[in-house]
Amino acid sequence: MPRRAGSVMDRLGLAGYLARGLIAGLAGVFLLQAAVTFDPDKAGGIDATLRAFADTPAGPWLLAVVALGLLLFAGYCFGEARWRRT
């Protein structure tokens, strides 16, 4: 992989994994909340997590940031597919 592409890939991977981590972390919070309250209806997956993001005052902006992060992760995955050597 060229040096410049490696630098871009590092940044794409960092931003993408941060977005994925944010979604997974909040889904984990929902799971813990359901476990503590003994209410399985409070547990939610990615769809419930994104709906919770949308319900915040900064909902549309937060969803846009998460969507951008996931697009950056997609770019990282394409780059990994292009330059990965096994």
What angle do the packed helices 46-54 and 59-83 form, to 10 degrees?
140
Q: Is the pLDDT of residue 29 over 90?
A: no
Asked if 27 and 44 count as a contact pair (C-beta separation under 8 A), the reply is yes
Of 2-11, 15-24, 29-38, the poorest mean pLDDT is in 29-38
Those residues whose C-beta lies under 8 Å from the C-beta of residue 9, and which sit 6 or more positions away, are 1, 76, 79, 80, 83
Q: Is the pLDDT of residue 86 over 60?
A: no
In terms of pTM, does the model score above 0.85?
A: no
Asked if 15 and 69 count as a contact pair (C-beta separation under 8 A), the reply is yes
Model confidence over 31-78: pLDDT tens digits? 888 888 887 777 777 888 788 878 888 888 888 888 898 999 999 999
Report the distance separating Cα 55 and Cα 22, nearest Å: 16
